[in-house]
Amino acid sequence: MNDISFTVHPGSVTGFLGPNGAGKSTTMRMIVGLDRPTGGDVTVGGKHYRDHRAPLREVGALLEAKAVHPGRSAFQHLHALAATHGIPRRRVKEVIDMAGLGPVAKKRVGGFSLGMGQRLGIAAAMLGDPRTVILDEPVNGLDPDGVLWVRNFVRELAADGRTVFLSSHLMSEMTQTADHVIVIGRGKILADDPIDAVINRQQKDNTLVRTDQPGELQAVLGDGATTDSEPNLLHVSGVDPRRIAQVALDNRILIYELTPQRASLEEAYMGLTRDDVEYQSHGVVTGADGGPEAGTKSAKKSKAAKRSARKAQGGGE
Query: In the beta sheet, which residues pair with residue 299?
Result: none
With cut-offs at 50, 70 and 90, classify the pLDDT of residue 8.
Answer: very high
Determine which of 22-26, 130-134, 286-290 has the lowest per-residue pLDDT on average: 286-290
Say how many Å lie between the first and final Cα of the chain, rounded. Answer: 58
Report pLDDT for 99.
95
User: Is the pLDDT at 315 greater than 60, yes or no?
Assistant: no
Do residues 32 and 70 lie in contact, with contact meaning Cβ atoms separated by under 8 Å? no
Q: Where are the domains of the chain?
A: 12-200, 204-260
As a whole number, mean pLDDT of residues 84-103 equals 95
pLDDT tens-digit profile of 41-62?
A: 999 999 999 999 999 999 999 9
12-200 — its CATH code?
3.40.50.300
Cα–Cα dist 163/37, whole Å = 22
Domain 204-260 CATH class label: alpha beta
Cα–Cα dist 129/124, whole Å = 10
Mean of all residue pLDDT scores within the chain: 85
Q: Is 159 left (phi over 0), alpha (psi -120 to 50) or beta?
A: alpha
Q: Do domains 12-200 and 204-260 have the same CATH topology?
A: no
